[in-house]
Amino acid sequence: MELNLNRQQILRMIDDALAEDIGTGDLTTEAVVDSTQQVQGELIAKEEGVIAGLAVAGLIFERLGAKIDYQQQIEEGVRVRPQTVIATISGLAAPILTGERVALNFLQRLSGIATKTAQYAELVADYDVRIVDTRKTTPGLRMLEKYAVRVGGGFNHRCGLYDAVLIKDNHIQVVGSITEAVEQAKEGVPHTVKIEVEVETLAEVKEALASGVDIIMLDNMPPELMEKAVGLIAGQTVTEASGGITAETIKEVAQAGVDIISLGTLTHTISALDISLRLGSDNNDRPKG
C-alpha cells in the first residue's frame, strides 16, 4: 500500500514534529559529529507486527535537506518477524542522527496502530463485518493514524465533524429527542450527507428507525441486547456497534449481526511497535520479510 495522502498536509505534520524536537539546533550532533562524516544503517523491527509509515520516515530525512539514500526493504502493510530490516539508510551522519527520533516516532506509532487493527480484523475475519476507527486520535495526526488503520486491514469512520452527521446522546439531551434531532439534521444538511444516531435502548432503536436515519449506532449494548436490536432493525438501515468492545468480546459482537464495529482503541490505546535505527552495522543475515 502506498502513502496516497495529501503530501502538503503530511509535510506540515513532519515540519511541526521536527521543529518540536530540534528547536534552535541539535546540540549533541553539532558538537560531536563531523559535518562531512558518512554513515550507513538499517531500520529494524525488533518485534512482530504490521509495518506502516515507511514513506513518512523517508520524507522526514528528505525534509532535512541532505543527500540521504533511504530505501524501503519491504512493502507497506507487511507483517514482519522480529529483527527484520524494513529500510536501509546511508549518507551524512548529522542529519540522519537529527531526524532519527522523529522518524522512529512516526514509524513506531503508525505500525502499532496497523498491528492492533490487524489483530482485531483477524478476530472477526469469519464474519461479514467491518472494523472501523473513530475520532479518538492524536491531535494533529488524525490523517496518518486513520491511514495506519487502513494499512492494518480496517476502515475509516468519519474523518471529522465536517463529513457526516452523528447525533450522540448529548445532542439528544440538548435537543430533546431523537426525532427532533433527526428532523433538524435533515433540514440543515445536504441530502447527500448520511445521518447516524447513537442509541442505547430498544425504544431508542424504534424511534431512530421511525425517523428514517441512515445508520444506527448501538452504543455500549451487551451482545444479547445488540442481537435483539439487529433483529428489530432487520436490514432497514446500517448497524454499528460501539463502546467498550475488547478483543475478548468482539466475536460476540460480530455474532450479533452488526455491519460495523467501531473501536476507539485502534488509535487511542496502542503500543508503539519496537523499531530501531542501527548505524554502522553489516547485518546481512537478518530476515528481509
pLDDT value, residue 147: 96
**Residue 237's pLDDT band (boundaries 50, 70, 90)?**
very high
Instruction: Record the pTM.
Output: 0.93
Dihedral sign for Cα atoms in the order 221, 224, 227, 228: negative
Our answer to whether residue 136 is catalytic in this structure is yes
Question: Cell numbers 444506527 label which residue?
Answer: 216
pLDDT in tens, 76-103: 999 999 999 999 999 999 999 999 999 9
Catalytic residue among 63, 79, 136, 206: 136
Cα–chain center distance at 50? 12
The DSSP-derived string for 70-89 is EEE-S-TT-EE-TTEEEEEE
pLDDT value, residue 3: 57
Catalytic residue among 42, 76, 100, 198: 198
Looking at per-residue pLDDT, the higher value among 289 and 100 belongs to 100
Asked whether the predicted pLDDT for residue 283 surpasses 50, the reply is no
Catalytic residue among 81, 168, 278, 288: 168
Domains of the chain, CATH where assigned: 7-116+271-279 (3.90.1170.20), 121-268 (3.20.20.70)
Q: Please enumerate in sequence order all residues whose Cβ is within 8 A of that of 27, keeping only pairs 6 or more positions apart, or say none.
A: none
**Residue 47's pLDDT band (boundaries 50, 70, 90)?**
very high
pLDDT value, residue 281: 39
Our answer to whether residue 101 is catalytic in this structure is yes
Asked whether the predicted pLDDT for residue 128 surpasses 60, the reply is yes
Can you tell me the mean pLDDT for 137-153? 96
Our answer to whether residue 198 is catalytic in this structure is yes
As annotated, the binding site includes 101, 134-136, 158, 168, 198, 219, 242-244, 263-265
Asked whether the predicted pLDDT for residue 284 surpasses 90, the reply is no
